[in-house]
Structure 1
Amino acid sequence: MATITLAVTGSISAYKAADLISQLRKYGHQVHVLMTEAAQAFITPLTLQVLSQNRVHLDTMEEPDPSKVNHIQLAKDSDLFLVAPASANTLAKLANGIADNIVTATALALPVTTPKLLAPAMNTNMYLNPASQNNLARLQELGYQMVEPRASLLACGDYGIGALAEIPTILEAVKEVLDLA
């Protein structure tokens, strides 16, 4: 099966990464997890490490194997780069080539042929903001595919688009992307 690099970013829906990892592993995929600092405020790296059965990568400057540059190797080994949840902040960084954390540095190091999939999750106003919409359009130009967020009651109490797609929807998108790769 595939080696999936799952980037978890700062969204309340980061806790859903636990279920996503479990489901991906049930399908036989190898899952390597990257987390932004903000994601760690919502779910612990240890939880995702236990579920993925792999070390969770938190810091671009941490180099566990002196013979390899960690974020470069992670990028080379990825059959699919999946960002779920993808926060507005991370979308902006990815759209503009900013590589200031393990997620964005690994993304920038991906071979152009590596499939990339985003599952945005944020407040409705953040999602609909023209800056976010421009970033999403730019990312599609750069070859990222999207799993659209859904309309729902959000953690902030607002109702609208911005909730992370359901896990089965993300899994179906992963299957489709990998079948095309």
Structure 2
Amino acid sequence: MLHNMSKRNILIGCTGSVATIKLPLLIAELRNSGWDIEIQVIVTQHADHFFSAEDIPPGVTIHRDEDEWNSWKGRGDPVLHIELGKWADLMVIAPLDANSLAKMAHGLCDNLLLCTTRAWDLTKPLFFCPAMNTRMWEHPITGPQIDTLKSWGLREIPCVAKTLMCGDTGLGAMAEVGTIVGQILTYLQEMDLRN
């Protein structure tokens, strides 16, 4: 049963972490949540390494860096990173790797995903799910970068401790897909109560 008759547009961003392998599961759980949800995805060049387009269900558009340039020919043409930000009701970056975290915290925007986050309307929620090796997570720069994003109103879905793909055990794994979906759905319910 649908919770609300109005469609919700969710933009998923994926960066170059092995946790991107969970993208098909994230899409499936959002689509099976009982909400009328439309999904579009932005992947970085390195995220593209961790999933196959065949694993993405029909009706979900995947955007890559080259789409930004292919859609713009001259003045007046739509600018993809602006249009995606206008389209989305909320955005979730799952996973957010150490490289993209550092770039975001310093305002860099050298790809479609980071251009979209830099132009994001901060009155709308942007969730981020850090994912990196424990050594990267424990580096002294990581905490201040996370705090910078949170100071802008972005919402962290904290990483968890587990055995990572590299075999190390510790903090740094992306939150479980169920946790991510739960936080998104909680926000949608709160949005409905406000309207």
Please give the TM-score of this superposition, normalised by the length of structure 1.
Answer: 0.92
The 5 A counterparts of 1:45-64 are 45-48=53-56, 51=57, 53-59=59-65, 60-63=68-71
Query: Which residue number in structure 2 is paired with residue 2 of structure 1?
Result: 8
CA distance in 2 between partners of 1:96 and 1:38 (Å): 20
CA offsets 1:19-70 (integer angstroms, 9 cap, x no match) = 001111223311110000010111134533xx26132110132317974111
CA distance in 2 between partners of 1:124 and 1:180 (Å): 34
Say if 1:35 and 1:163 are closer, same or farther in 2 by CA, change over 3 A.
same
Amino acid at match of 1:119: C
Query: Which residue number in structure 1 is paired with residue 3 of structure 2?
Result: none
Unaligned stretches of 5+ residues in structure 1? none
Which of 19, 30, 45 is matched with 1:37 structurally? 45
How far 1:178 moved relative to its partner?
A: 2.7
Deviates more, 1:100-109 or 1:37-46: 37-46
The 5 A counterparts of 1:164-175 are 164-175=174-185
Q: CA contact under 8 A between 2:39 and 2:61: conserved in structure 1? A: no
Q: 1:148 aligns to what SS in structure 2?
A: coil
Q: CA contact under 8 A between 2:93 and 2:128: conserved in structure 1? A: yes
Query: Which residue number in structure 2 is paired with residue 101 of structure 1?
Result: 111
Amino acid at match of 2:62: V
Runs of 4+ in 1 over 6 A off after TM superposition: none
Say if 1:33 and 1:64 are closer, same or farther in 2 by CA, change over 3 A.
farther
Which of 137, 141, 145 is matched with 1:127 structurally? 137
Query: Which residue number in structure 1 is paired with residue 4 of structure 2?
Result: none
Q: 1:111 aligns to what SS in structure 2?
A: coil
CA offsets 1:83-124 (integer angstroms, 9 cap, x no match) = 001101111111111111111001111112110101111101
Which of 16, 19, 31 is matched with 1:13 structurally? 19
Q: CA contact under 8 A between 2:19 and 2:174: conserved in structure 1? A: yes
Quick check: which has more Rg, 1 or 2? 2
Q: 1:20 aligns to what SS in structure 2?
A: helix
Q: 1:61 aligns to what SS in structure 2?
A: helix
Residue 150 in structure 1 maps to residue 160 in structure 2: yes
Say if 1:46 and 1:19 are closer, same or farther in 2 by CA, change over 3 A.
same
Amino acid at match of 1:58: R
Amino acid at match of 1:73: E
Aligned residue-pair number: 179
Please give the TM-score of this superposition, normalised by the length of structure 2.
Answer: 0.86
Q: CA contact under 8 A between 1:5 and 1:33: conserved in structure 2? A: yes
Q: 1:170 aligns to what SS in structure 2?
A: helix
Unaligned stretches of 5+ residues in structure 2? 1-6
